[in-house]
Amino acid sequence: MAASEASSGERNAGLLLMAAAAAALIVANSPLAPAYAAALHLQLGPLDLHHWIADGLMALFFLLVGLEVKREWYDGRLSTPNERRLPMVAAAAGMAVPAAIYLAVVGSDWQLVSGWAIPAATDIAFAVGVLALLGARAPASLKLLLVTIAIIDDVGAVVIIALFYTAELSVPALATSAGLVGVMAAMNMFGVRKLWPFLLGFAALWAAVYQSGIHATIAGVLAALTIPLGRGEPRSPLKLLEHRLHPLVMFGIVPLFGFASAGVTLAGAQFGTLGLAVALGLFLGKQVGVFGAIWLADRAGLAPKPEALSWRQIYGAALLTGIGFTMSLFIGGLAFTDQALVDGAKLGTLAGSLTAGLLGFLVLRTAVPLPTPDADREEAREIFGEDADEDPTVCNDSFAR
């Protein structure tokens, strides 16, 4: 993929998601609101439309996240302990501090405690879309750092969903799910290279996980771990599937989820303690956790910051991790059953994400870029080919290739 095309794709995906969220807010507060609500609750077989999007289509989003994580872990930016250390420390602090701030704000209100994970994750599409709007002020090393932290955030969010937002478990369905994962892993081990058997397995696994009581989207990550990936192989089944899923997910499923989930009737919704807790967790918790962890790791000699980045740029990137839109809305829908609380969590998510995104953009817009080292330029060229020389600020986003 040419560098200019990658940058345009990142920007367009982010802008489309922003437009979908804005459209949902407009429709939910217009005369079309009853039709919007009715459409989301339209029953289609065993699930209504909103649950088909949140439980079904979003499983493809998590499949794509899982493919990305596996590729980066075995054959990419997380393939060595040294490369994993800084983003893992930053991501861990960037999840723990927002959760702590959320719990501190809600205090002893046990009705709200279950929402502690809402501000823990970062929306990759939104964050990278903001970076793409910055052009030359977002160098390759900045995107690499931000995206890697966001990837680890998503893994953490998947684990949180599996452990803390699971209903009553069905042992037979869990056993079936484990068996299907075993069969798919065996296909990988015995050299199956066609994608269609794995896709059939993914569909069956989704149904089994849905019946098990664990959130069905976890099937996407489990299936991704079984897809074949040859180290250094340019056209492995995993990379091929990742490449094919990217436009469908980023230009179809994620904006659709944003449109289905961001609609809040502002006249009836209350920001309240819940909204404040989520907003502060995203805006304050993320920047303190991520930036603080990177600063401490650098000062302690545990993991140095990227040489190509100034501290101002790192602070701007830390702010952008506070854009929690997709994952925060998703977890908010799992955390509460009371629609008033779900709406309050949505308002907090929108307020925190918007504030973090705008301030992050302004900080990076006014940051003076450091000279791009040869190593940083070479890393961008390695990802994008010789076209990276045309625009050294462009790097691989979390779903590219």
* pLDDT tens, residue order, the chain (401 aa): 444 555 566 677 778 888 888 899 899 899 999 999 999 999 998 889 988 998 899 899 889 888 988 888 887 777 788 888 899 999 999 999 999 999 999 998 888 999 999 999 888 777 877 887 887 778 878 887 888 888 788 778 878 887 888 767 889 999 999 999 999 999 999 999 999 999 999 999 999 999 988 878 889 989 999 999 977 677 889 999 999 998 998 899 988 988 988 887 877 678 889 999 999 999 999 999 999 999 999 999 999 988 888 999 999 999 999 998 878 888 888 899 888 899 899 899 989 999 999 999 999 999 876 665 544 444 444 433 443 444 433 333 333 33
- 181 domain-assigned: no
- 329 domain-assigned: yes
- 123 domain-assigned: yes
- Could you tell me how many residues make up the chain? 401
- 398 domain-assigned: no
Q: What is d(CA 305, CA 323) in angstroms, rounded to the nearest whole number?
A: 22
Q: What is d(CA 265, CA 30) in angstroms, rounded to the nearest whole number?
A: 9
Neighbours of 379 (CB within 10 A): 21
* Residues in a beta bridge with 47: 44
Q: What is d(CA 133, CA 128) in angstroms, rounded to the nearest whole number?
A: 9
Burial of 281 (0-12, 13-18, 19+ CB in 10 A): buried
Q: What is d(CA 367, CA 311) in angstroms, rounded to the nearest whole number?
A: 9
Q: Count of domains in the chain? A: 1
Structure tokens at 8: 């345009």
Cβ distance 277 to 107 under 8 Å?
A: no
Could you list the residue range(s) of the whole structural domain that residue 114 is in?
A: 3-166+215-390
- 195 domain-assigned: no
- 240 domain-assigned: yes
CATH number of domain containing 374? 1.20.1530.10
In the Cβ-directed half-sphere of 97, how many Cα atoms lie within 13 Å? 22
Instruction: Report the sign of the C-alpha dihedral through residues 349, 353, 356, 359, in that order.
Output: negative
Cβ distance 280 to 97 under 8 Å?
A: no
Name the residue with tokens 């990276």.
Answer: 388
- 397 domain-assigned: no
In the Cβ-directed half-sphere of 63, how many Cα atoms lie within 13 Å? 31
Neighbours of 202 (CB within 10 A): 24
- pTM value > 0.85: no
- 206 domain-assigned: no
